[in-house]
Structure 1
């Protein structure tokens, strides 16, 4: 059954849902035309926040690691999308080399096992290559359900990467390269590397993504005749910052002040009687830590800022580039715990999603932290398609269709972003 949400299916967001449902043919045609001009990322996940008065993505992941949250009912969609993605890239593909992160926790490994199953069923021989230089022989890894995965050492032969007796035409990274690009992945010839190296955090910036998303949101809002702010989290960015000097956060303070002013103006325009906030997070890292700020004076509290800095640390590194993003509260609940939807996509297709739930977090805090749990979006029967004739808020599939539309906007923004940062191509701008 569909998870019970106490606020998800009522409130002002119904107006946005109705507009999207009424515009469904135009929306799908618009996406179709966009995909004729832009190449979707191989796979994507988007974290959304439903504030009631707006719905927006707050993070877009190009190396999603939560495929284990897809229910069995969703797997046929994932397999079909995987087939479409592979056919576009390497139609004759036989072997797929999957390179996971060097994480040993069971939750992540179940994600890897799910990916192996999806691509096996899409008609590929899938084997796992480890970037751990200490691995010199195949190593079986047990999973909680009694099955196992086998990690194998990578073999580089001139311009190709593979395993012993395994020469793939396609290499799929499920590793966001936060620690840098290994030499083994550089200068590959006649092999498809997905996602490309410039999707990793050595190059990628969240601010660049949300700049692209703002462009996409404006186009989409024009199509629907609406204010793009209803689907777009405003943002600012700072170049190099230094937490250790009094003036090192001046850029952060000025951006926080300017962004809070813009958000207050919007809240007043829409009659929203709440105190706005912004979140400060690493611009150049996958870390989910955030510092919530409701007043620029909060940044004068040295102790509070230094505690926030600890939460922003990723891979042991203190971030020196920050993004300041409009905070989007979430008013969805599951059994009294705060919840947010996550949309999973392969190629240009939504293949499913889940709710990230955290009982100890507030509506203005990030939920991707220890203590969070994940509840798959399960549908009763085959009722996964929207019902245009029903009233807004009356149908969970309608709400999930809207989530899928916003998720696809984030995916399209990622396509813009990758084109703009591709070192081997001219910018689309």
Structure 2
């Protein structure tokens, strides 16, 4: 299935062990969730190489709910309602605070889906922000979304009423919400990209990965990625860049030894990402320290450009995980959506133009539902891991998000 990489099917070989440890893992997850503030919702990008599986990104305010298939929407809605009942049992008026992407029909469709998901609990659900007050409606893929006039001037008022809870669907790259008073926000604003760091997520993830690996008696490397952080605009300073290139080569040598240990053929790759979040912008693939040294100014500028023109300062250097999943000449990666720390739904990014190591969060990527996959040759092999390895690493990532949140809300002044 893979052209550039070949290795043992360790996940298949270990599947019986995973099943035999399912009860012990369930206890581990239940105990961990009970100690943490689990987020209302989250999405996790998964890479499955056949010999390892890893969560490579975890989103606190995901868009893309419109890509979730109908059967999974019911499951997702049930877990969202359960979270609300536990955390905000008296809430009856919810207000979704969106991004400003009103011209992106896919994003608007995401908001329509979110509104429907929360409305299933019998609550009134409005959508809007002060930035969108000039618009009455915005157009999605399947219909029109009505926006509600929103005032945030020391107190949040939507159509003259104060919501019980703000559902945040905005990644807060530009800072926390202002003028909303003491209304609770979910997921909390502390997870916004104005202060959250990708590297901090992976730092919080590692202890949970280690514990799951201990239960399974496997190498933790099979459930995660290695990484380090380059700080203070290092890519723009020659002396620092030379040191960073040496670090990159050392990191790649470590990965080559891992490949040799497991009999994996192919050259390891690293990805350089903005540590302060990105929409898939500014992600570069590097194969050596020399490759890093020889990056063109155009590529460096692309890498340092953040959302809304914000300049990236720190970079996550992360092990690349090739995907062993493909169907009809499309490379595939799972994207799992969850609520309250539980894996609830899966869809797949699919791209016929990309290689097995490439970032698939691009405009040329299309989305496939499990129903679509099931009808394709080889689809069963992909779907059989949904509730096993893929759910495992997704829920480990959600534990990490809960741990991040606990740290962020205890160490900084909360804006909620």
| TM-score (norm: length of structure 2) | 0.90
Q: Is the 8 A contact 2:241 2:293 kept in 1?
A: no
Contact (CA 8 Å) 2:323, 2:356: kept in 1 or not? yes
- Residue of structure 1 in register with 2:377 after alignment: none
Instruction: From 358, 362, 365, give the equivalent of 1:365.
Output: 358
1:90 and 2:88 aligned? yes
Question: SS in structure 1 opposite 2:239?
Answer: coil
Is 1:174 aligned to 2:169, yes or no?
A: yes
Aligned 8 A contact 2:204 2:404 in 1: yes
Per the TM alignment, residue 201 of structure 1 is displaced from its structure 2 partner at its CA by 0.5
Is 1:165 aligned to residue 160 of structure 2?
yes
Distance in 2 (CA, whole Å) between partners of 1:162 and 1:229 is 49
Q: Report the CA distance between 1:126 and its aligned residue.
A: 0.4
RMSD: 2.5
Task: Check conservation: 1:352, 1:377, Cα contact below 8 A.
Answer: no
Aligned to 2:237: 245
Is 1:408 aligned with 2:395?
yes
Q: Please, which of 303, 311, 317 is the counterpart of residue 318 of structure 1?
A: 311
Give the unaligned 5+ runs of structure 2: 375-379
Q: CA contact under 8 A between 1:277 and 1:294: conserved in structure 2? A: yes
Cα distance in structure 2, aligned partners of 1:397 and 1:60: 22
Identify if the C-alpha distance between structure 1 residues 394 and 201 changes in structure 2 by more than 3 Å, giving closer, same or farther: closer
In structure 2, how many angstroms separate the alpha carbons of the residues matched to 1:18 and 1:184?
53
Alpha-carbon distance, 1:285 to partner: 2.1
1:261 aligns with 2:253: yes
Q: Moved runs in structure 1, 4+ residues, more than 6 A?
A: 4-7
Once residues 247 and 194 of structure 2 are traced to their aligned partners in structure 1, the CA distance between those partners, rounded to angstroms, is 24
Verify: 1:210 aligned to 2:206, yes or no.
Answer: no
Q: Contact between 1:97 and 1:162, CA under 8 Å: does it hold in 2? A: no
Partners of 2:164 and 2:243 in 1: how far apart? 46
Partner of 1:386: none
Quick check: which one's helix share is greater? 2
Which residue is equivalent to 1:142? 139
Cross-structure match for 1:19: 17
User: Is the 8 Å Cα contact of residues 172 and 193 (structure 1) preserved in structure 2?
Assistant: yes
Cα offset for 1:177? Answer: 0.7
Where does residue 184 of structure 1 map in the other structure?
179
Pick aligned residue for 2:50 from 37, 52, 60: 52
Report the Cα distance in structure 2 between the residues aligned to 1:352 and 1:308, rounded to whole angstroms.
Answer: 36
Structure 1 runs not aligned, ≥5 long: 382-392
Query: How many residue pairs get matched?
Result: 402
Deviation per residue, 1:253-286 (Å, 9 max, x gap):
2432232122112112112121111111100122
What secondary structure is seen at the aligned counterpart in 2 of 1:378? helix
CA distance in 2, matches of 1:332, 1:53: 12
SS of aligned partner of 1:222: helix
With normalisation by structure 1, the TM-score equals 0.87
Moved more, 121-130 or 201-210: 121-130
Partner residue in 2 for 1:300 = 293
Whether contact under 8 Å (1:180, 1:202) holds in the other structure is yes
Following superposition, the deviation at residue 308 of structure 1 comes to 4.8
C-alpha contact (below 8 Å) 2:272/2:315 kept by paired residues: yes
1:385 alignment counterpart: none
User: Are 2:414 and 1:422 equivalent residues in the alignment?
Assistant: no
Structure 1 CA distance for aligned equivalents of residues 125 and 359 of structure 2: 34
CA contact (8 A) 2:44 2:56 kept: yes
Instruction: Please report how far the alpha carbon of residue 169 of structure 1 lies from its aligned counterpart in structure 2 after TM superposition.
Output: 1.1
